[in-house]
A and B are shown apart, each in its own frame.
Chain A
C-alpha cells in the first residue's frame, strides 16, 4: 500500500475492485465503516455480489477478466468531462512529456512488437529528451505527442457502448461508478482504491493495477490522506516476505536479482537508474550503497572491496531466465529438481493446475514440509490417485511454531513492521521457522567445511552468527536487517547512513531505521496522533523511514502548502525551514523553490501516466483472459495479451470457446478460512461455519442445468475436476456479452482432501498454468469450466 489501513477513514470515496474486503480483510472494514459514518461513498465492483457488496453504496457487476475495459471507460469519462486535477497532472505526472515518433498503437498492438519472440522492443516507447538529456515537456498539454493527448487517443476507443459489451455491466451502473469516483478529482476530496488478488490473478494483472494508477494520478489521489493505490495483502506478513525478497526477480528491498551477464559488482552497478534532470532526486541512484551493505551483511569480514564484497558468490539468474512459481513447478514436473522445501505453504492446493503440482512432487528425491499442520503437500504421496509404493519422494515433516508461539515482526499491508511477542511455548517438537533455518544452515556449513563440494565459497563465507549466548536470537536478525556502522559497531540510524565502501552493513535498506541504538522501533506502541489523520507515528514502525503515506510531497502545492488543508499530511514551515506532519519523501524544501520533484523513486521524478517499463505496453489495454467465452476481443484482433507466457503440452491444456467448458469460472476465499485452509481446516469452529467445498451458481444457470440448491455438482475444466455442493444464489447473475448470455460460476480454494475428510478438494485442480507477463501470477480468477449435477448413477460409477 502507498497508504495504510487506518487511512481508509480519510477517504471520501472508496472503491473496492478486484477484492472482497469485508470477507477477506474483515478487520479493515472497520475503517471503511468509519469513512461511511462520515458520509463517504463505498463502491464495490465485482463479478459476484458478496458480503462486501451488501454494504456498498454502489455495486456494479462485471464479467471476470474485464477490469481494464471498466477502468478504461472511467479514464475516458474523466478526460471527456475534464474532471482531472490539472495542477497535479501537469506538475506531478509525466502527462506533459513528449513521446517519441516511433511510438504507436494499432489494433491491439503497441509499437515494437516481435511476434516470434512474443515481446516488445520498449525503446519504441521512450520520451523525447532535450540536449541535456531531460525529457521534453509541453506544459500546455496540447502537443499531439504529449502523454495526455496520447492517453486521450488511446482511451477514446473505450466508449460506453463497448465497455458495456465487454464487461456486461449495466450502463447505468457504470455511469454511477464513474461519476461518484471522478468527483474526487478536486484537491479537497480523496478517493482510494482497495484491491487484492481479484486484480493480480489475471494475464493482465499488472495492467489492471496500472489502469487504476492512471485514474489515481488523473484525479490527484496519490500521496494524499485517504488516497493511494492500496493492495490488501492476502496474508498478514506477505508484505514482509516480499520486502525480504520471496520472489525470484528481486533480492532484499527490491534490488534486482543479479543476472549472468552482470559478472562484476561494477556491471551490476552500471544498471543503476540514472537521470540527467537536476530536479529529480532519483533515489535509486543510491542502489550501489544498498547492494554493498547487503553483501557486507551476508558475508561479513569476507566481503572486501577487492573481492567485490563477495558479489561473485551471489547466485545469478540466466539473462532471460524466468524462475517464477509456474516455471519452477513446470521444471519440477519435468524432473529437473531433486529436492524441495515446502515451507509454510501448500502448493498441492495453492498452485494453479494443482493436479500438475501434485504430479511434480512425485518426481522429487526428497521433500521437506515445514508447517503447523500436515497438508495435502506433506501427504501428497497418499492423496487421491497416488500409489505410495510407486512414489520415490522421501518426505520429511518438520513441525513449526505458530505465530503466537514465537517472537518476531510481521509487516502489514500498510508497510508497518510490528513486533510481536511470544504468548506460549510451541507444542512438542515444533520450532520457530527462523530457528529451523538457522540450525539447518549451520549443519550445511559444517558439511561443506568437511566435505567441500562444488563452489563452497558462498556457503563457507556466509556470515551466520545470529545467536546470543549460544542460542538463536531473533533480535540479532532484526538488528542485522537494520544495519551497522562497521567502523563503530553501532546500529545505523537509517539508510541515509549506508555507504558503498564496505563500512556499513544492512540486510534490507528499506528496513534501515527499524532497530536503532534507540531500540526496537517495531515494538513501539504509543498512540499519539499529532496530525489527527491516524498516522500514529510512534506505533510500530513503517518503511521507508517511518513514512506513513508515501509520495506525500504530492499532497502539497509548489510552495509546500497542503492542497487539502483539512487533511494535511505534510506542510512546509517556511520560517523554520522544515516540514511538519508525516515524514516527507525527502526533507528538501518545496518543489517550487529548490526542492526535487515528488516521486523520488522514479528516475524522472514524476509519476508515470505513460509507463514505458512493463512487458505488455505503456498503457493498459483490454485483452480477453486466455480462456474466455467470446471468439473475438471487442477492442482489437489481439484476443489475448500478446506477450503472455503460455506453458503448453502435457497437463497444461487450455480451452477457449469450447462448448465442453461454457462457463466463466473464478476462485476466491471466504472469511472463515485462510488460503488453502492449512491452518483453518483444523479448527472445528471454522469448519462448522464453512464445512465443505461449494460452487456458487445463478438461479438462471441452475434452471438451465437442472441443479437445485444444495445438490452435489461436478465442476470440470480441461485440466481437472472437483466435486462441490451447489449454492444457487440470486447474488450471481448471467451477463450479456456481445449479445450472448454468459454464465459465471465460482468456487473457494480453501479445501483439500486431507482434512476434513468430507470437505472436498482444491479449486486449483481447475485453474490454468498461465500467468501475467510481468509477474507470472496465474490466471486463477478467469477461466472456462463446466458444471453438471452429480446424479445417483454418475455417483455410483465414480
Chain B
C-alpha cells in the first residue's frame, strides 16, 4: 500500500459538516454537550471525542462578506512532532503506520496531564486532545481500519462536493496542484498548505490565517516553535513553511 494523503479543497467546502458527523459515527464518538454561542461552529473545538471539526470564519473583504470553512483534522505529519515528544517522554501510545503513513494514537494508554500538554503543544496544528476521565489521548485515525480494507475514510466518503479527497500521495498532490493552478487565476492568494511533509494537504484561496489560527504555522507562535525545536531534529522541514 502506497503512502496515503488527504487533499482538502476548502474552495469546495460548503460546511455541510457531513464529514464532522460521519467521523463521529464511524469512530462511535459520543456527542458533547454544546450550547449556541453566537456561532454556527459547534462543538467549539476539537476534543477527545471530536477528531474532525469544520471551523467557520466570517469576515469582510472590500466591504463584501466572506465565509471561510476549514475542515480541521490531524495532518498526519511525515515526521510527527507529537510522536517524537511522546517518545522522549517514554510513552508508546503514538505510532506511525508504515504502509499508509497514518499517525495513530492508542487512546487506552494513560498519559499524565503535563505530558499530554507537552504532546499537544508540540503539534504545530494543535490537534491531539487529552481526556480527563480516561487520561487517554485521541485524534483523527485516518480511518485506518477502513483504509486497510480498501475503503475511504468516513469523512471523505460522505463529502458531497469533492472538498474531501483521499488516495495515494502522488495522485492527491497531482490533484491539488492542478486545482491550485485553476484557482490561482481567480484568487491570487490561493495556496496549498502543508504539501511537502504532511499527509493532509489543504487548499485555501486566501490568507490561511483568515480560516483558522493554526491553518498554517505562524512565525509569532514562538512557544510552539520553541517546543518543536526542542523536540525535533528535522526542523528544516518546518521552517520553510513558516509564514
Contact = CB atoms under 8 A, between A and B. Distances in A.
Contact of A693 (B36, B37, B67): B36
A26 B14 contact: yes
Contacts of A26: 14, 16, 18, 160
A725 B40 CA distance: 11
B35 A54 contact: no
Contacts of A55: 12, 14
Nearest to A671: B16
Interface residues of B, number: 35
A29 B160 contact: yes
Interface stretch (B25-33, B98-106, B137-145, B228-236): B25-33
B67 A685 contact: no
Interface string A678-710: 000000111111111110000000000000011
Contact of B17 (A684, A689, A710, A758): A689
Contacts of B60: 730
Given A26-B14, A30-B161, A691 B36 contact: yes
A54 B67 contact: yes
Interface string A22-34: 1100110110010
B42 A688 contact: yes
A691 B66 contact: no
Nearest to A28: B160
A726 interface: yes
A671 B21 CA distance: 12
Contacts of A694: 36, 38
A22 B13 CA distance: 10
Interface string A724-747: 011111110000000000000000
A685 B38 contact: no
A725 B36 contact: yes
Nearest to B9: A33
Interface stretch (A45-53, A201-209, A469-477, A631-639): A45-53
Nearest to A728: B38
Contact of A731 (B32, B43, B58): B58
Nearest to A693: B36
A245 interface: no
Interface string B37-62: 11110110000000000000011100
B15 interface: yes
A692 B36 CA distance: 6
B65 A730 contact: yes
A690 B67 contact: no
Contact of B65 (A670, A688, A731): A731
B46 to A, nearest CB: 13
Contacts of B66: 54
A685 B162 contact: no
Contact of A52 (B14, B30, B33, B43): B14
A24 B17 CA distance: 12
Interface string B61-96: 000111111000000000000000000000000000
B38 A725 contact: yes
B210 interface: no
A49 B65 contact: yes
B34 interface: yes
B17 A30 contact: no
A162 to B, nearest CB: 24
A405 interface: no
Interface string B113-128: 0000000000000000
A225 B38 CA distance: 42
How would you classify the secondary structure of chain A's contact residues: helix, strand, loop or mixed?
mixed
Nearest to A731: B65
A424 to B, nearest CB: 16
A52 B15 CA distance: 10
B58 A27 contact: no
A193 B153 CA distance: 34
Nearest to A27: B160
A354 B137 CA distance: 47
A685 B36 contact: no
B58 A727 contact: no
A728 B39 CA distance: 8
Contacts of B34: 687-689, 691
A30 B162 contact: yes
Interface string A628-672: 000000000000000000000000000000000000000000111
B191 interface: no
Given A29-B160, A30-B161, A689-B21, A54 B38 contact: no
Contact of A22 (B14, B35, B42, B59): B14
B24 interface: yes
Contacts of B65: 49, 53, 59, 730-731
B69 A672 contact: no
Contact of B40 (A53, A685, A727): A727
B165 interface: no
Contacts of B58: 729-731
Contacts of A685: 21, 24-25, 31
Nearest to A30: B160
B26 to A, nearest CB: 11
Nearest to A55: B14
A687 B31 contact: yes
Contact of B42 (A33, A691, A709): A691
Nearest to A684: B31
B161 A54 contact: no
Contacts of A728: 38
B17 A709 contact: no
B199 interface: no
Interface in A2-36: 22-23, 26-27, 29-30, 33
Contact of B67 (A53, A670, A684): A53
A54 B12 CA distance: 10
B20 interface: yes
A27 B25 CA distance: 18
Nearest to A727: B38
Given A53-B67, A731-B67, A690 B40 contact: yes
Contacts of B59: 730
B67 A726 contact: no
A529 to B, nearest CB: 19
Contact of A710 (B15, B33, B37, B67): B37
A691 B38 CA distance: 11
A670 B15 CA distance: 11
Of A684, A685, A729, most B-chain CB atoms within 10 Å = A685
Nearest to B15: A51
B20 A689 contact: yes
A728 B64 CA distance: 16
A398 B66 CA distance: 46
Given A26-B160, A688-B34, A731-B58, 16 more contacts: A22-B15, A27-B160, A30-B160, A33-B161, A51-B67, A54-B14, A54-B66, A670-B40, A671-B15, A687-B31, A689-B34, A689-B42, A689-B43, A691-B34, A709-B39, A726-B38
24 contacts: A22-B15, A26-B16, A27-B160, A29-B16, A30-B161, A33-B161, A51-B14, A51-B15, A51-B67, A55-B12, A55-B14, A685-B21, A688-B31, A688-B43, A691-B34, A691-B36, A692-B35, A710-B36, A725-B37, A726-B38, A727-B39, A727-B40, A730-B60, A731-B65
Nearest 3 interchain pairs by C-beta = A710-B38, A684-B31, A709-B38
Interface of B: 12, 14-18, 20-21, 24-25, 30-40, 42-43, 58-60, 64-69, 160-162
Interface of A: 22-23, 26-27, 29-30, 33, 49, 51-55, 59, 670-672, 684-694, 709-711, 725-731, 758
